[in-house]
């Protein structure tokens, strides 16, 4: 249908090139994860003669990637649940109830989004240490939650404001308590917003590195990002290239699978955060 | 009913507020105070040193390297990322709305945004490997072996290599963001421009760019904040880390090392405060330039 006099070939070429630049390193890592060390070192661009999945087994068990994976699941799962619960409660209370100090409270939460975490790092370490929570799951879960709540409040506050007041009023007339109105009526109505901010939070928490690096010194409790970073610099594993590539691939894979399954939601949720 | 209202509000707000005060607000407040002391982590042994830590920052050559590197990153990373993002987004738009190929490209472009910076840093550490890495062996394979370098070990390439990784990981996100904004521009504007004889470049300059100014400003703030950080990629990928010879040192890394390797907690806090003011200045500048433009309109 296009009837342009001179069709500029540059944009299509550039689009293709950037796709290659993006995908090539990722594919290369995945292919390398099933190659032998000799193949990785001497034929970096060639596919393996026979795919070797023992690299994956070694990474999962001997290199502890399996354990780090489980740690990440526990910490991120706990923090995500707590963040969504607390964030939704605060956002709802501040969006739908008028009381003195409401605005102040809102800005107290939201202002924290604009502070670099580096500024808090040193005192945070000692706060967590004094509470006896250094290197524990509950410690990480509470700190992750505390740093994820501000954006969640910011995002859901706008969302709860747009919900019609009549539905809540009708529920009150039916004799529902305040808590019942929130959990049974308003929360289900806010589902699209909860899904978007939930995806955003999951990715943010799953990819945390600085906070666990400082607050989670026990190698048995390392989260995936931490474990992978430690593995890549540890001398013992410098020589096990196949195992390292396999660990890297295992770390990428769940995100890739989730992305392929939910890619439209994920892109919408992530970009909505920047547009708001 | 009133009673129930207050009980609900307290139940909804207090738990989150306690977490917020203990783990967020109080550490931020303490950091400002600690930056004025010589605290090394021993309880009760913090001495007030006034602006001493800040004066020391000015003579700390490694910290000055970090400031210089973050400044270079701040100039280069947002500009290149936004430039590439705008270009690819308009190329996708030109390819037609909702075209199959266009959305396949978007899926690929966006993926690195989802990966942890640690995963990205480990991956690119392999790519840059001087002997077996994707980059050098690729160059050799196409007969450009002379261009192969020890990317992370040579001071003149190390920071470029770090910035390339940051740009690689974020372009896709802005392509998707800008593409959505371009698709929201009414088609008539493009058609009117075409009737006026505008080609690709001038319809980009006179239609797309002015209408995306707000998105570009937001992108500058986000990318600027990321460029002032750079910690994860540098800490995992570079030699040292921060090397060779300070070539890839960043403020966050200096802070982390001073605090958790050397135990200079007061001094490290001063770096945190400096980083805070840099971030704040960036955000205020972006905000002000936005306001001036609105006045000018």
ipTM for the assembly: 0.86
The mean pLDDT of A175-190, rounded to a whole number, is: 87
- Taking the Cβ of residue A217 and every Cβ of chain B, the question of whether any pair is shorter than 8 Å is answered with no
Domain A55-275: which CATH number of 3.90.1150.10, 1.10.1200.10, 3.40.50.1980, 1.10.3720.10: 1.10.3720.10
The mean pLDDT of B52-58, rounded to a whole number, is: 88
Do B22 and A232 lie within an 8 Å CB cutoff? no
Q: What are phi and psi of A222, to 5 degrees?
A: -50, 140
Residues B219, B225, B229: CA angle, nearest 5 degrees:
140
Do A179 and B8 lie within an 8 Å CB cutoff? yes
- Taking the Cβ of residue A78 and every Cβ of chain B, the question of whether any pair is shorter than 8 Å is answered with no
Do B119 and A21 lie within an 8 Å CB cutoff? no
- Taking the Cβ of residue B173 and every Cβ of chain A, the question of whether any pair is shorter than 8 Å is answered with yes
pLDDT of residue A5: 44
**Sign of the torsion formed by the C-alpha atoms of A238, A243, A246 and A251:** negative
- According to CATH, the topology of domain B52-296 is MetI-like fold (1.10.3720)
Quick check: B228 pLDDT over 50? yes
Q: CA–CA separation, B226 vs B175, rounded Å?
A: 17
- Taking the Cβ of residue A141 and every Cβ of chain B, the question of whether any pair is shorter than 8 Å is answered with no
Residues constituting chain B: 297
pLDDT of residue B46: 76
pLDDT of residue A212: 95
Using a CB-CB cut-off of 8 Å, the residues of chain A touching B220 are: none
Quick check: B203 pLDDT over 70? yes
Return the domain boundaries, chain B.
52-296
- Taking the Cβ of residue B223 and every Cβ of chain A, the question of whether any pair is shorter than 8 Å is answered with no
Return the domain boundaries, chain A.
10-52, 55-275
Q: What percent of chain A has pLDDT over 70?
A: 93
Mean pLDDT for all residues in chain B: 87
Collapsed DSSP state (helix, strand, coil) of residue A261: helix
Collapsed DSSP state (helix, strand, coil) of residue B48: strand
Which of A33, A89, A96, A118 is the best substitution to test chain B (most B C-beta atoms within 10 A)?
A: A118
- Chain A CA closest to residue B15: A86
Mean pLDDT for all residues in chain A: 86
> Residue A124: which of A106, A108, A140 has the closest Cα?
A140
Quick check: A2 pLDDT over 60? no
- Taking the Cβ of residue B230 and every Cβ of chain A, the question of whether any pair is shorter than 8 Å is answered with no
For residue A6, name the pLDDT band (cuts at 50, 70, 90).
low
> Residue A92: which of A199, A185, A195, A203 has the closest Cα?
A185
Using a CB-CB cut-off of 8 Å, the residues of chain A touching B122 are: 228-229, 232, 244, 248
Quick check: B118 pLDDT over 50? yes
pLDDT of residue B221: 87
- Chain A CA closest to residue B254: A118
For residue A276, name the pLDDT band (cuts at 50, 70, 90).
very low
β-strand partners of A239: none
pLDDT, one tens digit per residue, over A95-128 is 988 899 999 999 999 988 888 899 999 999 999 9
Which B residues in the span 253-272 are in contact with A, Cβ-Cβ below 8 Å? 255-256, 259-260, 265, 268-269, 271-272
pLDDT of residue A149: 95
């Amino acid at each position: 249908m296009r009837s342009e006099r001179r069709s500029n070939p540059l944009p299509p070429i550039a689009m293709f090139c950037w796709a290659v630049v993006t995908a090539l390193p990722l594919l290369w890592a995945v292919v390398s994860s099933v190659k032998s060390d000799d193949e990785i070192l001497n034929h970096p661009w060639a596919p393996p003669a026979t795919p070797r999945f023992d690299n994956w087994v070694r990474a999962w068990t001997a290199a502890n990637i399996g354990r780090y994976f489980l740690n990440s699941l526990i910490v991120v799962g706990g923090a995500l649940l707590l963040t969504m619960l607390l964030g939704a409660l605060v956002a709802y209370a501040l969006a739908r109830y008028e009381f003195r100090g409401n605005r102040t409270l809102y800005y107290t939460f939201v202002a924290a989004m604009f502070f670099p975490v580096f500024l808090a790092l040193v005192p945070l370490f000692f706060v967590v240490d004094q509470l006896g929570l250094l290197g524990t799951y509950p410690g990480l879960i509470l700190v992750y939650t505390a740093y994820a709540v501000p954006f969640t409040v910011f995002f859901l506050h706008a969302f709860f404001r747009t919900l019609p007041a009549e539905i809540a009023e009708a529920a009150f007339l039916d004799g529902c308590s305040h808590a019942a109105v929130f959990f049974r009526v308003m929360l289900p109505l806010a589902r699209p917003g909860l899904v978007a901010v939930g995806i955003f939070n999951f990715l943010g928490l799953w990819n945390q590195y600085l906070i666990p690096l400082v607050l989670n010194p026990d190698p048995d409790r390392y989260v995936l990002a931490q474990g992978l970073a430690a593995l890549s610099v540890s001398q013992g594993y410098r020589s096990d290239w196949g195992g390292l590539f396999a660990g890297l691939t295992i770390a990428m894979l769940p995100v890739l699978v989730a992305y392929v399954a939910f890619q439209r939601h994920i892109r919408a949720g992530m970009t909505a955060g920047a547009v708001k | 009913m009133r009673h129930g209202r207050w009980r609900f509000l307290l139940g909804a707000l207090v738990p989150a507020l306690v977490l917020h005060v203990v783990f967020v607000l109080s550490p931020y407040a303490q950091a400002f105070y600690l930056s004025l002391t010589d605290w090394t982590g021993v309880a009760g042994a913090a001495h007030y040193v006034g602006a001493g830590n800040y004066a020391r920052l000015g003579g700390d050559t490694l910290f000055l390297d970090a400031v210089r590197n973050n400044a270079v990153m701040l100039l280069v990373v947002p500009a290149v990322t936004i430039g590439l993002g705008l270009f690819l987004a308009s190329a996708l738009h030109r390819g037609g709305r909702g075209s199959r190929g266009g959305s396949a490209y978007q899926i690929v472009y966006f993926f690195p945004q989802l990966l942890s910076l640690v995963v990205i840093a480990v991956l690119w550490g392999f790519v840059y490997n001087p002997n077996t890495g994707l980059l050098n062996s690729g160059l050799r394979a196409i007969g450009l072996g002379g261009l192969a370098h020890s990317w992370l070990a040579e001071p003149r390439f190390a920071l470029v290599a770090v910035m390339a990784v940051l740009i690689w990981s974020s372009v896709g996100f802005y392509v998707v963001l800008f593409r959505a904004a371009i698709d929201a521009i009414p088609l008539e504007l493009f058609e009117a421009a075409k009737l006026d004889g505008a080609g690709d470049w001038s319809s980009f300059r006179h239609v797309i760019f002015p209408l995306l100014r707000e998105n570009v400003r937001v992108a500058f703030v986000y990318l600027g904040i990321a460029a002032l950080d750079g910690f994860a990629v540098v800490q995992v990928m570079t030699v040292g880390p921060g090397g060779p010879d300070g070539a890839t040192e960043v403020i966050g890394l200096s802070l982390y090392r001073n605090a958790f390797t050397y135990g200079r907690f007061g001094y490290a806090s001063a770096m945190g405060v400096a980083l805070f003011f840099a971030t704040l200045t960036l955000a205020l500048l972006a905000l002000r330039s936005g306001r001036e433009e609105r006045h000018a309109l």
